[in-house]
Chain A
Amino acid sequence: MISDFFQFSQVFFTIYFIALHGAYLILNALSIISIRRYMEEHSVNNLPKVYTGLEIPISMLVPAYNEEVTIVDSILALLQMNYPEFEIIVINDGSTDNTMNVLIEHFNLTIFPEAYRDRLKTKDVKNIYISKQYRNLRVVDKENGGKADSLNTGINISRFPLFCAVDADSILQVNSLEQIVQPFLEDPKTVAAGGTVRIANGCSINKGFVTEANLPKHPLAIFQVAEYLRAFLFGRLGWSPLNALLIISGAFGLFHKETVVSVGGYRTDTIGEDMELIVRLHRVLRKRKKAYKITFVPDPICWTEAPEDLKTLRNQRIRWQRGLSESLLRNRELLFDRNGGVVGWVAMPYMLIFEWFGPFVELLGITTIILGFTFGYISAEVAIIFFLIAIGFGVLLSTVAVLLEEMSFHIYSKPWYVIILFFAAIVENIGYRQLNSIWRITAMFQELKGHKPQWGHMKRNASWNDS
């Protein structure tokens, strides 16, 4: 009986891992096709860059909570964006530090009698300020309500048809807006677009912009570079042509404001408000039978600091898993819905089976094989083969991500970085990935126990070279 159980487990887990990695490989193939086409069509942008006034103006929403150290540099960098018409709205979410005073002083802010309209219900707005120095900069001072509440406030006050949600610590490129708006110009059905997020640790930064892409020194951050490549270049690029993209990073995303307002804005009772909004957009727009597009722009247009200590990383991953879980749960109607299309019939089940439940199966598989081997139900040969499959495919996928990067943007100019990255892509599959799975399972248990999700405070190291 026990022997049968281990024999069954062995077959089940092997098939599961092959199915999981098979799904990844299909996404891989789709990504390679997408990136080749994208590079062909967009790499030579020889069309003239003269603005005509028909470009869609953009409101950039920057929620800030206790960001007194970095906020001024972040805003100064955003003000330098290359784009004909945009405004910046900083939302001070009841910071307990000196964020508001720093902003008032540096940007010469004055209270402005704005006729505020609360289309989306939010915490009370205390004051609205306008910069005397930069006319396209406004700051909202409000009661603390979290990131989603701040973004909703920003949406209420924004003037333009598109809004761009930006984290206060995101580092953008001068042309980030020009690039992320392209899907909206190319297809008016576009309601949301997201870009690739890269790790800023180790990079050279000048006046708020990345001047040279370098690899971080800390191994944990290097693993995250490899992990982000895999997540963005496959995870997102693969789904985009199927119009089944379920995540747009909260660090940098562009949205059609009226559509977002029509689905109720950001949910304030979820920790993964960025993903939840995208899944809800799919669900509601499909229900309304409205033609829409949610697109991914593969250009590296946003940089963010990665945690370099296990505690912060653990908290971040727990938040992500809780976000994923809440997004799927709150929009479960979309799963196998009659009008669900590729999202409801492929992307959602994929997310549920492989991303949400995957860590559990993965660890259960490893534990079962180890137990089976220890008690003599599974031979050493079989156990080794199992681990090779579990890790081997992961290695293949991570290394292909490095290849894809080399085929497209090759942002790391120093050749030895590519070799380091290649080996990091191999090593991250042994230990780092399993650690992630444990954290993700922790998140699931926390959710079962009814623990309220906590806002994580990023421990900032600013481990880039500010010149």
Chain B
Amino acid sequence: MESFLDFNITSKITLDASISLMKYVAGVVLLVLISVIFMRLKLVYHDIKRKKFLNIWRPILMESIAHTPNKLPRLNKTYLQDFIAEWNSLYEKLGGISHDNLISIAARLDIHRHSAIMLISSHPRIQLTGIVTLGNMRVKSSWELLASIAQSDQTILSMAAYRALILIDGDRALEELLPILIKRSDWPASMIAKILKDTDNYKACELMTEACDNASKDNLPRILKYINALNCQNASKVFKRILTESHDDHLYSLCLQKLNDPSAIDIVREFTTYARWHVRVNAAIALGNIGAEEDIPVLEKMLSDPQWWVRYRAAQSLCKLPFIDTQRLNSIRSKHNDKFAKAILDQVLAEKELAS
């Protein structure tokens, strides 16, 4: 204890340690300065060279939109990544015949081979570029490799691989990789919906609705989201089954959102008084899509719902029904005693007027 309190000794140790530490700190700061300068010089140098390189290749790629050039200059491999990035960026912007021309140029420059090598890189950024390029070039021979990446744990890479497979052979990817698609909870639904838009809608809807039959409780909401995003016309049977057999509020909401089958009207009506307001909101939306004359009193009642969103959607649905005009809406408004119902109808009527 005494020696601990001997500040002279402690100070001496602290002092010596501090001096050594400061030497290291000064050294590291110097190293940081050198690194910053070196990185900036490298960046500037690469930028100049890159611009020069792209000045040659950009016009060639642009020209290829109209027709494939007969002769191509030699591709400097140092700027392979820049070329591929430029090629992909142009590819994403364009469509139709220009895609074929771009693919033909890339094939002549052996880009598919280079991209396949990129898949084994340790840098995800390079791997991602390779995956995207192989997909855009429709390289069938990379199928196995891409399929294994689609099953890997890495979210972005696996999703990019899935998209590449969809581009290479949409039908095959849909069929073979459906079990993976259904299980992947880490793939953002909006991104997958984008990817699925590139497939044959009929086929995708058919597979998705079939998948609902055996889907687990965890996976079913995700499939329903995809069905809704794809606007599947064949889903009403599935929706009706879930609405009558399931006991899950979230599933009810998902099914009611896009239900467009008048034969389901009785089922929908049952949900207009459901305990959870999220379900009532979607029931109000469904009534706007398939409601009949006798649903007007139901929607009128919903205008007094304690939840704002239920009132709002009910008012919107009333306005949307084809057999109801502004005059009738005004009469509903005037006979309603509830101030909340009047307020929400005023709002929706004003919105309707603004839109017209």
**Shortest Cβ distance from A421 into chain B, in angstroms?**
9
A29 shortest CB reach to chain B, Å: 13
B346 near A115: Cβ-Cβ < 8 Å: yes
Asked if B188 and A186 make an inter-chain contact with CB atoms under 8 angstroms apart, the answer reads yes
Is B326 an interface position by the 8 A CB rule? no
Residue B275 interfacial (CB < 8 Å) = no
A422 touching B14 in the complex, CB below 8 Å, given contacts A53-B229, A54-B189: no
Bitwise, A106-142 to B at CB < 8 A (1) or not (0) is 0000001111010000000000001010010000000
Provide the residues of chain B in CB contact with A403, threshold 8 Å. Answer: 32, 35-36, 39
Any A CB within 8 A of the CB of B242: no
Find out whether the CB atom of B124 lies under 8 angstroms from the CB atom of A115.
Answer: no
Other-chain residue from A10, A117, A388 in contact with B308 (beta carbon distance below 8 A): A117
Contact A40 B124 (CB under 8 A): yes
A41 at the A/B interface (Cβ < 8 Å)? yes
Of the listed stretches A198-206, A327-335, A391-399, A434-442, name the one at the interface; the rest are far from the partner chain: A391-399
Interface stretch (choices B153-161, B263-271, B280-288): B153-161
Minimum Cβ distance to chain B for residue A261 (Å): 12
B254-311 interface with A by 8 A CB criterion: 308, 311
Binary contact track B7-23/A, C-beta < 8 Å → 1, others 0 = 11011001100110110
Q: Residues of A contacting B22 with CB < 8 Å? A: 385, 388-389, 392
Which residues of chain A have C-beta atoms less than 8 A from B123's C-beta? 40
B109 within 8 A of A: no
Stretch from A44-52, A145-153, A229-237, A448-456 that touches the partner? A44-52
Nearest chain-A residue to B195 (Cβ)?
A48
A406 and B40 in contact, given A40-B123, A46-B92 (Cβ under 8 angstroms): yes
Contact B125 A52 (CB under 8 A): no
Query: Is residue A175 within 8 Å, beta carbon to beta carbon, of the partner chain?
Result: no
Q: Is A55 in contact with B346, judged by CB distance below 8 angstroms?
A: no
**Is A400 part of the contact surface with B, judged by Cβ < 8 Å?**
yes
User: A418 on the interface (CB 8 Å rule)?
Assistant: yes
Q: Are B188 and A406 in contact (CB under 8 A)?
A: no
Interface residues on A, range: 35 or more
B232: which A residues are within 8 A, CB to CB? none
**B336 part of interface (Cβ distance < 8 Å):** no
Q: Which residue, B32, B128, B186, has most C-beta atoms of chain A within 10 A?
A: B32
Binary A-proximity of B27-64 (CB < 8 A = 1, otherwise 0): 01100110111011101100000000000000000000
Please determine whether A115 and B343 come into contact, CB atoms closer than 8 angstroms: yes
Report the separation of the CA atoms of residues A43 and B81 in the bound assembly, to the nearest whole angstrom: 13
Task: Say if the beta carbon of B211 comes within 8 Å of chain A.
Answer: no
Q: Which residues in chain B, 120-171, are within 8 Å of chain A measured between CB atoms?
A: 123-125, 128-129, 132, 155-156, 159-160, 163
Which chain B positions have C-beta within 8 A of A51?
194
A410 touches B129 (CB 8 A): no
A310 at the interface (CB under 8 A from B): no
Which residues of A in the span 10-65 have a Cβ within 8 Å of any Cβ on B?
10-11, 14-15, 18, 39-41, 43-44, 46-56
Q: How far is the CA of A428 from the CA of B242 in the complex (A)?
A: 64
Within 8 A of A (CB), among B190-228: 190-191, 193-195, 197-198, 225
Task: Say yes or no: A50-B197 contact (C-beta < 8 A), given A55-B190, A407-B39.
Answer: yes
Q: Which residue of A lies closest to B196 (CB)?
A: A52
CB distance from B121 to the nearest CB of A (A): 11
Are the C-beta atoms of A418 and B40 separated by less than 8 Å?
yes
Please measure, in the bound complex, the distance between the C-alpha atom of A40 and the C-alpha atom of B129, giving whole angstroms: 11
- Expressed in whole angstroms, the minimum distance between the Cβ of B19 and any Cβ of chain A is 6
Beta-carbon contact of A41 and B156 below 8 Å: yes
Is B344 engaged at the interface, CB distance under 8 Å to the other chain? Answer: yes
A156 nearest CB neighbor, chain B only: B308
Judging by beta carbons under 8 Å apart, are A185 and B191 in contact? Answer: yes
Bound Cα distance A54, B7 (Å): 66
A82-B284 Cα distance, complex, nearest whole Å = 31
Give Cα distance in the complex from A39 to B159, angstroms.
18
**How many whole Å from B66's CB to the nearest CB in chain A?**
24
Residue of B85, B197, B344 touching A52 (CB-CB under 8 A):
B197
A422: which B residues are within 8 A, CB to CB? 33, 36
Return chain A residues, CB-CB under 8 Å to B15: 381-382, 385
- Known contacts A7-B7, A14-B18, A403-B32; A47 and B160 CB within 8 A of each other: yes
Q: Please tell me the number of chain B residues within 8 Å of chain A, measured between CB atoms.
A: 61
**A4 vs B2: C-alpha distance in the bound complex, in angstroms?**
13
Closest residue on chain B to residue A111 by CB atoms: B350
Q: Does A445 contact B (CB under 8 A)?
A: no
Measured between alpha carbons, how far is A415 from B18 in the docked complex, in Å? 35
In the assembled complex, the Cα of A308 lies from the Cα of B92 at a distance in Å of 44
Contact B191 A382 (CB under 8 A): no
Any A CB within 8 A of the CB of B1 = no
Name the residue among A15, A392, A415 with the largest chain B CB count within 10 angstroms. Answer: A392
Task: State which of A4, A112, A185, A388 has its C-beta within 8 Å of the C-beta of B350.
Answer: A112
CB distance from A190 to the nearest CB of B (A): 11
Given the known interface contacts A44-B85, A422-B33, the answer about A113 and B350 at a Cβ–Cβ threshold of 8 Å is yes
Residues of A within 8 Å of B343, CB to CB, are 113, 115
CA distance A33 to B349 in the complex (A): 54
Chain B residue nearest to A186 (CB atoms) is B188
- Determine whether B97 belongs to the interface, using a CB cutoff of 8 Å to chain A: no
Residue on A nearest B185 in the bound complex, by CB: A188
Expressed in whole angstroms, the Cα–Cα distance for A386 and B11 within the complex equals 11
Residues in chain B near residue A165, CB distance under 8 A: none
Complex Cα gap A273–B198 (Å): 45
Q: Point out the residues of chain B lying under 8 angstroms from A407, CB to CB.
A: 39
B8 near A7 (CB under 8 angstroms)? yes
Contacts of A185 in B (CB 8 A): 188, 190-191
Residue of B nearest to A184 (CB): B188
A263: Cβ under 8 A from any B Cβ:
no
A40→B156 CA distance, assembly (Å): 11
- The reply to whether A396 and B193 contact each other, CB–CB distance below 8 Å, is no
With a cutoff of 8 Å between Cβ atoms, the chain B residues found around residue A39 in the complex are: 125
Known: A44-B129, A406-B40. A135 touches B25 (CB 8 A): no
CB of A402 within 8 A of chain B? yes
Partner of A396, one of B18, B29, B39: B29
Q: Is the CB of B125 within 8 A of A44?
A: yes
Nearest CB of chain B from residue A154's CB, rounded to whole Å: 15
As a 0/1 sequence over residues 77 to 96 of chain B, the CB contacts with chain A under 8 angstroms (1 = contact) are: 00000000100100010000
Instruction: Tell me if B312 counts as interface (CB < 8 A to partner A).
Output: yes
> Which residue of chain A has its CB nearest to the CB of B156?
A41
Q: Give chain A nearest CB distance to B38 CB in angstroms.
A: 10
Distance in Å from the Cβ of B71 to the closest Cβ of chain A? 29
In the complex, chain A residues whose CB is within 8 Å of the CB of B26:
392
Q: How far is the CB of B182 from chain A (nearest CB, A)?
A: 16
Q: Is A8 an interface residue, CB under 8 A from the partner?
A: yes
Q: Are B10 and A11 in contact (CB under 8 A)?
A: yes
Contact between A186 and B155, CB atoms less than 8 A apart: yes
Pairs A–B under 8 Å by Cβ, sample size 7: A15-B14, A44-B85, A44-B128, A54-B189, A395-B25, A399-B36, A402-B36
15 additional A-B pairs beyond A48-B194, A419-B37, beta carbons within 8 Å, are A14-B18, A40-B124, A47-B159, A47-B160, A48-B195, A49-B92, A53-B229, A115-B311, A130-B354, A185-B191, A186-B188, A395-B29, A396-B29, A403-B32, A415-B41
